[in-house]
Chains A and B, each alone.
Chain A
Amino acid sequence: MSTKFVNQEMKSLHFNPRKPASAPVDKVVGAVSHTALTIWSLIVILPLLWTFMSSFKTSSEIFASPFALPSQWRFDNYVRAWTEAGIGSYFLNSVIVVGSALVIVMVLGAMCAYVLARYTFPGSRAIYYLMLAGLTFPIFLAMVPLFFVLKNMGLLNTLPGLIIVYVGFALPFTVFFLFSFFKSLPHEITEAASLDGAGEWRTFFQVMLPMAKPGLASVAIFNFLGLWNQFLIPVSINAAGPRVLSQGLAAFAGQMGYAVDFGALFAAVTVTVVPVLIVYIIFQRQLQGSVSQGTSK
């Protein structure tokens, strides 16, 4: 450590290890900290609460007073959003696309990371760096040619096309994250498995994969958030296909323009936000742990 923290003078003035009572400064700092954090929490929560409340109001109620509770809790906004605006089917499409892509990318990503982390062969380093490169390029650059790749394969505007592209773009992060994970698993276990007569396949699926569970869970959460959030890919290569949630939501907001059904719009946003928020609150410990894990390497 090259940095000198403080000079000797200050030390003699302030340092008193035997001082018993709690310093009043602590209380001030504590109060200021709590205030600052509370203000930020309010900035986060208020918009969400307002959206939630507005989703039960009529458009005229929303405009009359932004704070008032709805005069009556109208669920018809949700019915309209779910059926007429198609949020229900978009939601289902999103679940299908994100769910399938997630399963595939986790399996393929784990396999790829496993091979790259535990086998050395000519070109393994190059493949790893090629994977890393995918993390740094802006997706935008790929969208135009990707449009034609999918068109030529007949996958444009289809859910399978969307799934496979999601897999491709989620792969680098998955491999990158799991690479260090597989690298850290002890080699003795692989050897024990092979002595017991397990082949490469069996060793992976029955020994290594279960051991990597914590890592897999973290990556799965991040991939889920990333893919559920995806907007550019569907609007570029699935413009005329069955819409996913983020795409449908944007279309709904755009098409409304001036013809106003704000209640239904807020209901649609709420439907998009709430399920993930609930899942997050349940799994928040796991997720916060994975943030630290993913970045400390």
Chain B
Amino acid sequence: MKTKQRRNDEALAAVVPATAPPAVRRRRKPLTWDKISFFAVFLGLPLAIYLLFVIWPFVQAFGYSMTDWTGFSPTQNFIGLENYVKIFTDDIFMKAMGNNILLVIFLPIVTIILSLVLATLVTVGGSSKGQIKGLRNSSFYRVVSFFPYTIPAIAIGIMWGQIYDPSGGLLNGILTGLGLDQFKDFAWLGDKNTAMIATMFVIVWGFVGFYMVLFVAGIKGIPAELFEAARIDGAGRFRTAVSITIPLIRDNIQTAYIYMGILALDAFVYMAALNSGGGPDNSTLVMAQQLFFTAFSKGQFGLASAMGVVLAITTLIFSGLVFLVNRLTGGDKDVSI
């Protein structure tokens, strides 16, 4: 009885739209000191900080990228695109770029699939009778899964570095405990076949909980009637997830893909913590590490800025691609309720 009542309320809430905010009224008022000081402080102050410390450095980076500046030399000569030529003929940087591209393809996919599955289990894994509901005690899983997101990335990296430790780490301890003796001294981060996968897992570990919470929120925003209609039509759980949940939280998935992709194109913290040298045979080296090294160890600021520009353009291309793919596959049409 009670659940029925609640369902009705929810149905009502879904049908009645929230009152739209009234249109902004444009009325000219005379400028007073109150108003002038208000605008100067409220808009001027934040904007000044933002322009000086965020926008201006971004703009400068483009300029520096075409000079041979070392950071200490008083002169900086304009050398055009020479830095870019140097970057694209540098095997190590290209290797780093390849690693970034590997990350940007697999990291979001794995994270999103895993968090989507977990979110689905939490929200619609419950009884198939009556109202659609999640598993019992599901909030426990949600809270626990979110833990890693609250941990600083560098702490995650150091922690997992120890877990992967060949001789005293947790992972090999568990594996040998299970009778897999071949892993007794296996160096997960020291073998070029496993270093990248092991590193990816750490990043996935850190973010699944966050995206799970995000998707849970998205799924809970879907009107219950849609699930019920599907159920009445006889759709099973898997079918419901594929045909209803995923299309309706498509925007959330796109957002997640872009965030996770931008993270994958950076990935500096994790790489620095797990394999600061770039890993065996540079197998986990990323562009950001190479940039940092070029700028702050080798002092080639012009070249490093060019690397930054390449990184930024890669990021833009990536975001553009995600939008494009989403649009081409009908992302705009499907989500109308």
Real complex partners, A and B? Answer: yes
Binding site for B on A (CB under 8 A): 1-3, 5-6, 10-11, 13-15, 17, 22-23, 25-26, 29-30, 33-34, 36-38, 40-41, 43-48, 50-51, 54, 62-67, 108-109, 111-112, 114-116, 118, 120, 127, 130-131, 133-134, 136-149, 164-165, 167-169, 171-172, 175, 183-184, 186-188, 199-201, 204, 225, 228-229, 231-232, 235-236, 239, 245-246, 249-250, 253-254, 262, 265-266, 269, 272-273, 276-277, 279-281, 284, 287-288, 291-292, 295-296
Among candidates A47, A65, A279, residue contacting B160 with C-beta atoms closer than 8 Å: A47
Among candidates A143, A164, A204, A250, residue contacting B308 with C-beta atoms closer than 8 Å: A143
* Known A-B contacts A46-B170, A250-B154, A292-B217; A114 and B42 likewise in contact (beta carbons under 8 Å): yes
B168 adjacent to A140 (CB under 8 Å):
no
Min distance, Cβ A232 to any Cβ of chain B, angstroms? 6
Known: A36-B118, A149-B60, A204-B42. 14 other contacts (CB 8 A): A26-B127, A26-B128, A30-B135, A41-B140, A67-B173, A108-B46, A127-B47, A140-B268, A141-B309, A144-B308, A250-B158, A262-B168, A291-B213, A295-B252
B 90-131 to A, binary, CB cutoff 8 A, 1 in contact else 0: 000000000000000000000000100110011001111100
Chain A, interface SS category: helix
Q: Is B162 an interface residue (CB 8 A)?
A: yes
A246 to B111, CA, bound (A): 24
B56 adjacent to A1 (CB under 8 Å):
no
Residues in A neighbouring B309, C-beta threshold 8 A = 141
Q: Is B24 an interface residue (CB 8 A)?
A: yes
A164 adjacent to B53 (CB under 8 Å):
yes
Residues in B neighbouring A33, C-beta threshold 8 A = 121, 125, 135
Chain B residue nearest to A20 (CB atoms) is B129
Residues in B neighbouring A186, C-beta threshold 8 A = 21-22
* Known A-B contacts A5-B230, A14-B234; A23 and B128 likewise in contact (beta carbons under 8 Å): yes
Chain B residue nearest to A117 (CB atoms) is B24
Chain B residue nearest to A166 (CB atoms) is B53
B 201-229 to A, binary, CB cutoff 8 A, 1 in contact else 0: 00001001110011011101100001001
12 A-B residue pairs with CB within 8 Å = A36-B121, A41-B144, A51-B159, A66-B170, A112-B46, A138-B312, A141-B58, A146-B57, A149-B52, A183-B21, A266-B162, A295-B214
Residues in B neighbouring A14, C-beta threshold 8 A = 234
Q: Is B197 an interface residue (CB 8 A)?
A: no
- What is the count of residue pairs linking A and B with beta-carbon distances less than 8 angstroms? 326
Q: Is B284 an interface residue (CB 8 A)?
A: no
B128 adjacent to A145 (CB under 8 Å):
no
* Known A-B contacts A22-B129, A168-B53, A231-B153; A295 and B46 likewise in contact (beta carbons under 8 Å): no
Q: Which segment, of B6-14, B78-86, B186-194, B236-244, faces chain A?
A: B236-244
* Known A-B contacts A22-B129, A33-B135, A186-B21; A40 and B233 likewise in contact (beta carbons under 8 Å): no
Chain B residue nearest to A247 (CB atoms) is B154
Min distance, Cβ B68 to any Cβ of chain A, angstroms? 14
Min distance, Cβ B37 to any Cβ of chain A, angstroms? 8
Residues in B neighbouring A116, C-beta threshold 8 A = 43
A34 adjacent to B135 (CB under 8 Å):
yes
A25 to B22, CA, bound (A): 50
Residues in B neighbouring A279, C-beta threshold 8 A = 150
Q: Is B260 an interface residue (CB 8 A)?
A: no
B152 adjacent to A115 (CB under 8 Å):
no
Chain B residues 296-335 with CB under 8 Å of chain A are: 296, 301, 304-305, 308-309, 311-312, 315-316, 319, 333-334
Min distance, Cβ B35 to any Cβ of chain A, angstroms? 6
Among candidates A5, A36, A142, residue contacting B61 with C-beta atoms closer than 8 Å: A142
Residues in B neighbouring A171, C-beta threshold 8 A = 46, 49-50, 54
B52 adjacent to A169 (CB under 8 Å):
no
A269 to B162, CA, bound (A): 11
Among candidates A131, A140, A199, A288, residue contacting B311 with C-beta atoms closer than 8 Å: A140
B 153-175 to A, binary, CB cutoff 8 A, 1 in contact else 0: 11100111111000111100110
A109 to B230, CA, bound (A): 44
A187 to B24, CA, bound (A): 8
